[in-house]
Structure 1
Amino acid sequence: MVAPSPSFLGPISRKKQLKELAQMSLLSRLRCITIDVTGTLIAYKGDLGDYYCMAAKSVGLPCPDYKRMHEGFKTAYTAMATRYPCFGHAAKIPNVDWWRECVKDSFVKAGYEYDDETFDKVFRRIYSTFGSSAPYSIFPDSQPFLRWARQKGLIVGIVSNAEYRYQDVILPALGLNQGSEWDFGVFSGLVGVEKPDPMIYKIALEKAGNVAPNEALHIGDSMRKDYLPAQSVGMHALLLDRFKTPEAETWRKSGAHVVTDLAAAQEWITKEEEVEGDQKMVQ
């Protein structure tokens, strides 16, 4: 006996069948997840002043004022990023030289000027420290989430406004390794494009194997750098609000999807929801 095709099903059973098809999790429609790094997978430990203070004291200098140092760094970093974006990628400035100029200007703007020999010793300590795992901590849900995504057959990519040491040293030192936690990385210092430029997300889709935008999800902690540009290229997007930022309520009111951590992100990805296109078939 031949089983009846859907066209021969009664109106009630056919409607039920289509409604079941309309209930799908986002996971079932994804091939790729891309994810931000700082504030999403890892966080800074302590204050910037802590590390600049340790570097100064290591050569017998007094500890710089924390507030002045923080403000000096912000000003110097913004100036360098404007003049030589993506850590000097287009100008072909070596990473260490880009940071040397930035750090020196940070001290000058904070009111501290050292002779070349002294500054070089201080800088080497700072550059070495921020090229290691020392100033960072990994969120406890980061590794489990990334491994879960890969176990589900998803391609996992890192998208970050960071230089090459995040890929080669920092993430592996924190237990986030290419091949076990993530498959590919798009780092602004290596590709010469940075968020919020939507091009960085297009590069990520290409690296994932030319995945279609509607088969990819980006997770990050910034509406301007993560959520909006990812959506603008057709990707799904999700915001993380780990620190209960005041902006989060505005994000929610604007219609953005916001969760508190990656455990909640996993639940959001796997929950069943009505798929608009299929739902119209039921009506």
Structure 2
Amino acid sequence: MLFSKIRLITFDSTGTLLNFSVHPSKKYAQIASLYGIECDHNILNENFRSHWRKMIKEHPNYGRHSGLGWENWWRQIVLHTFKGCEVPIDDGKLNTIANHLIEEYKQRSCWKVTQGALDLLSYLKHKGVTLGVISNIDPRLHETLINNKVRHYFKFVVTSYEAGIEKPHPRIFEEAIKASSIEDLKSEECLHIGDSIPLDYVGATRAGWKALVLLPDKSSQNEDKIDENHKFYSFYDLHKYLMDNGETVKKIQ
């Protein structure tokens, strides 16, 4: 892949720039314990995964178009995750726990910036490349990025909830081009980096963008659809690749 015409680079958030500092099931158990509720995090994990699948099918994009709304979407996730717990919990306490968790996931304590990401962002920023974020997520992402001290690297943040469309739909990538405010920017001058082959890589390439995928391990996804040179297993490898091609990354004047 040549970068002679790249003018915009965007990143996915969860699983790419940011990862959970504690597994969500353990975080749910920790917060519940603050209210005197003790639940097995393994049971919470099973409940969470089951209801997550149900909610994304019945109320996609965090309830953006179903009328549920993202806050109530997450309340439903929390309520049903704990409803399956062997310990009986009254609805009032469940709502309190849900509200606590909704706020908690804005905080730095729930997240860790992926190793090597800051070095790469600093390098690209120094090169003068315009950076952005495109993520299938709710609007809390803005605060999350600020609290994790990475928001200043990005000119814009496009969340699926606010855009009203999710990756891999081409329109969310079009929204990013608009948000960049780069004059006469074309899709082939854009690069997207994420951890999902169907959502990030396939989504971006179908929108006419270039794409690279940052995989968490070497067997996590079906990699048949992507070029061997377009997949990486760490930000360090990705950074080296871009540095080796650094002279061809176009600097925005």
Q: Which residue of 1 aligns with 2:218?
A: 245
Check the 8 A contact 1:33/1:216 in 2, yes or no. Answer: yes
Aligned to 2:164: 192
Question: Is there any run of 5+ residues in structure 1 with no aligned partner, and where?
Answer: 1-24, 276-283
Matched, 1:121 2:93: no
Query: For the residues of structure 2 that align with 1:223 and 1:69, how far apart are their CA atoms?
Result: 28
Q: Tell me the equivalent position of 1:201.
A: 173
- Confirm whether residue 34 of structure 1 aligns to residue 10 of structure 2: yes
Pairing 1:141-180 to 2, within 5 Å after superposition: 141-167=116-142, 169-177=143-151, 180=152
Q: Deviations over 1:26-50 (max 9, x none)?
A: 3331100011111211111222222
CA distance in 1, matches of 2:66, 2:224: 40
Query: How well do the aligned residues superpose, as a CA RMSD in angstroms?
Result: 2.4
Do residues 217 (structure 1) and 166 (structure 2) align? Answer: no
Normalised to the residue count of structure 1, the TM-score between the two structures is 0.78
Runs of 5+ consecutive residues of structure 2 not aligned to the other structure = 249-253
| CA 146–254 in structure 1, closer or farther in 2 if over 3 Å, else same | closer
Aligned partner of 1:263 in structure 2 is 236
Q: 1: CA distance between counterparts of 2:30 and 2:106?
A: 15
Aligned: 1:56 with 2:32? yes
- How far is 1:136 from its partner? 0.7
Measured after TM superposition, the shift of residue 112 of structure 1 is: 5.0
Q: Report the alpha carbon displacement of residue 65 of structure 1 after superposing the two structures with TM.
A: 1.7
- SS in structure 1 opposite 2:166? coil
Contact 2:106–2:147 (CA<8 Å) still a contact in 1? no
Contact 2:193–2:211 (8 Å) recurs in 1: yes
Asked if the contact 2:10/2:133 (under 8 Å) is kept, the reply is: yes
| 8 Å Cα contact 1:26/1:269 also seen in 2 | no
| Pairwise CA distance, 1:52 | 1.6
- Measured against aligned partners, the alpha-carbon deviations of 1:42-78 in whole angstroms (never above 9, x if no partner) come to 111222222121222112122x122221111112122
- Identify the match of residue 181 of structure 1 among 153, 172, 178: 153
Count, aligned residues: 244
**4+ long deviations beyond 6 Å:** none
| Percent of pairs with identical residues | 25
Secondary structure of residue in 1 paired with 2:4? helix
